[in-house]
């Protein structure tokens, strides 16, 4: 039985590919798609086994590739011979099987057969020279000895040698860790913890990336006194969708606010949430692993799966960013406010959270104070979480409103504004535990930022 194939190729080369497929043994060309909507319609209807796509097909991006895979359609990338940019875009979309336009019909047949069976054809798999990771490592090596200038190849970025160079990718023995900070509704302190946790990790000498993925009320930029007219997370996800996200382009939209700490600012308006799709955010977080050894992600509270929209796989989902960040996390921190209302929300929220993550979260109780729970507040909060949520040994952050308020007013973190704060010491200990780096008494690297 012939394999049903469809094409989504730019107009200049579509006829050439269609002619080759017409002569390919065992392949039946059922549709030459005019646009992305046509491509998605025929593939999601189950009328195609394999789609042949080109990076320059009008409207095609990473968000359209996901529904094709979910529909069980194999994907073959087609590119102009020798055009590495098109090969790189296809690679970033996850299209591993690629062929140059003008390949022989037998090669098309072999590639289509390979992806249809769920296996990559050895004859069409890109070699190491087409791997953007390998190319990046080679470029970084050349740059390190001054033998080659840095010239960005990303069309989203200005062609300027002044862009900062990112660090070399982490070695296998230094695998980056993603920590997602979540908490139930009611402002339990998710962003405060995420910001200060990232700052403390950077202070320990661990390159850190802070990502504001809260699509309801992003505020990382405000906590650090950063401008957010051009949100970094939106720019990064656009780059991922277009297939142009790499370490250099990510470094350009995630500036280093101080030594060792890069920040992807969040959406300034909640109505822009469709810009941050789950598949694009997952790609961004994976690239963040190349920029730092610790990635701290601040997310919103809602965990609903948007079941009403689940039948429509192409529709954006309101809580997709939160769910994607939780799914990608190596460690999830669940933070709640240490008062009767906040603890009740935390206990109930932990039940919902455990339904969407595989490993138990690390629980933090914030603003622990006797005025809210009575005498011996640490003991009372610990007993309540143990009894009602089965949480043993939660991290307890004491209430230090003056320190937090002063830091927010100044646009600084606790390590800068109130280094002796009791709350800061708990967060620093948590950062040391997550990074495996013991805190030292050396002079703070925040001095340079404090003087600026």
User: Mapped to the 3 state alphabet, what secondary structure does 272-328 carry?
Assistant: HHHHCCHHHHHHHHHHHHHHCCEEEEECCCCCCCCHHHCCCCCCCCCCHHHHHHHHH
Where is average pLDDT lowest: 18-22, 215-219, 437-441? 437-441
Q: Are 397 and 365 in contact (CB under 8 A)?
A: yes
Distance CA 307, CA 434 (A): 34
Torsion angles phi and psi, residue 306, rounded to 5: 60, 55
The burial class, CB within 10 Å (0-12 / 13-18 / 19+), for 107 is middle
Instruction: Give, rounded to a whole angstrom, the gap between the first and last alpha carbons of the chain.
Output: 69
Q: Give the residues across from 261 on adjacent strands.
A: 208, 258
**Mean pLDDT throughout 352-380?**
95
Give per-residue pLDDT as tens, 39-83: 988 998 889 999 999 999 988 988 888 888 888 999 999 999 988
Orientation angle between helical segments 401-410 and 422-435, nearest 10 degrees: 80
* Structural domains of the chain sorted by starting position, each given as residue range(s) with its CATH number in brackets: 3-125 (3.40.50.2300), 172-451 (3.40.50.300)
Indicate whether 147 pLDDT > 50: no
pLDDT at 163: 42
CA gap 94, 222 in Å, rounded: 35
Give, in order, the Cα–Cα distances in Å from 215 to each of 241, 242, 301, 393, 398. 18, 21, 10, 31, 28
What pLDDT, in 10s, does the model give residues 384-408?
Answer: 999 999 999 999 999 999 999 999 9
User: Can you give the C-alpha Rg of the chain in angstroms?
Assistant: 25
**pTM, 2 dp:** 0.73
pLDDT in tens, 72-102: 999 999 999 988 889 988 988 889 899 999 8
């Amino acid at each position: 039985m012939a394999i049903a194939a469809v094409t989504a190729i730019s107009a200049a080369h579509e006829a050439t590919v269609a002619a080759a497929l017409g002569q390919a043994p065992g392949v039946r060309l059922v549709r030459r798609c005019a646009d992305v909507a046509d491509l998605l319609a025929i593939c999601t209807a189950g009328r195609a086994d394999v789609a042949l796509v080109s990076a320059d097909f009008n409207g095609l991006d990473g968000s359209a590739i996901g529904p094709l895979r979910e529909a069980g359609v194999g994907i073959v990338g087609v590119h102009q011979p020798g055009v590495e940019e098109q090969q790189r875009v296809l690679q970033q979309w996850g299209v591993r099987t690629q062929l140059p336009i003008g390949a022989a019909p037998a090669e098309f047949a072999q590639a289509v057969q390979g992806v249809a069976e769920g296996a990559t054809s050895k004859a069409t798999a890109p070699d190491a020279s087409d791997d953007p990771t390998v190319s990046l490592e080679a470029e970084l090596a050349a740059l390190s000895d001054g033998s080659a200038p840095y010239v960005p190849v990303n069309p989203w970025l200005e062609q300027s040698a002044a862009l900062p160079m990112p660090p070399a990718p982490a070695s296998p023995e230094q695998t980056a860790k993603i920590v997602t900070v979540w908490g139930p509704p009611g402002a339990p302190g998710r962003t405060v913890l995420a910001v200060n946790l990232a700052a403390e990790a950077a202070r320990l000498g661990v390159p850190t990336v802070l990502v504001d993925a809260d699509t309801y009320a992003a505020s990382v930029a405000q906590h650090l006194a950063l401008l957010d007219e051009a949100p970094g997370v939106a720019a990064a996800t656009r780059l991922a969708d277009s297939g142009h996200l790499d370490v250099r382009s990510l470094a350009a939209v995630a500036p280093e606010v101080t030594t060792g700490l890069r920040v992807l600012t969040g959406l300034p308006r909640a109505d822009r949430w469709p810009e941050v799709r789950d598949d694009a955010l997952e790609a961004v977080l994976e690239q963040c692993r190349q920029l730092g050894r610790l990635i701290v992600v601040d997310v919103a509270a809602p965990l609903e799966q948007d079941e009403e929209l689940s039948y429509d796989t192409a529709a954006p989902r309101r809580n997709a960013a939160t769910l994607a960040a939780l799914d990608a996390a190596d460690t999830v921190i669940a933070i709640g406010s240490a008062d009767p209302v906040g603890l009740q929300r935390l206990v109930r929220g932990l039940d919902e959270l455990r339904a969407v993550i595989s490993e138990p979260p690390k629980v933090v109780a914030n603003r622990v104070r006797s005025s809210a729970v009575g005498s011996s507040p640490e003991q009372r909060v610990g007993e309540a979480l143990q009894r009602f949520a089965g949480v043993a040994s939660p991290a307890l952050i004491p209430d230090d409103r003056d320190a937090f308020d002063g830091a927010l007013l100044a646009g600084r973190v606790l390590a800068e504004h109130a280094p002796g704060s009791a709350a800061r010491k708990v967060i620093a200990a948590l950062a040391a535990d997550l990074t495996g780096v013991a805190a030292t008494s050396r002079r703070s690297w925040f001095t340079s930022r404090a003087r600026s």
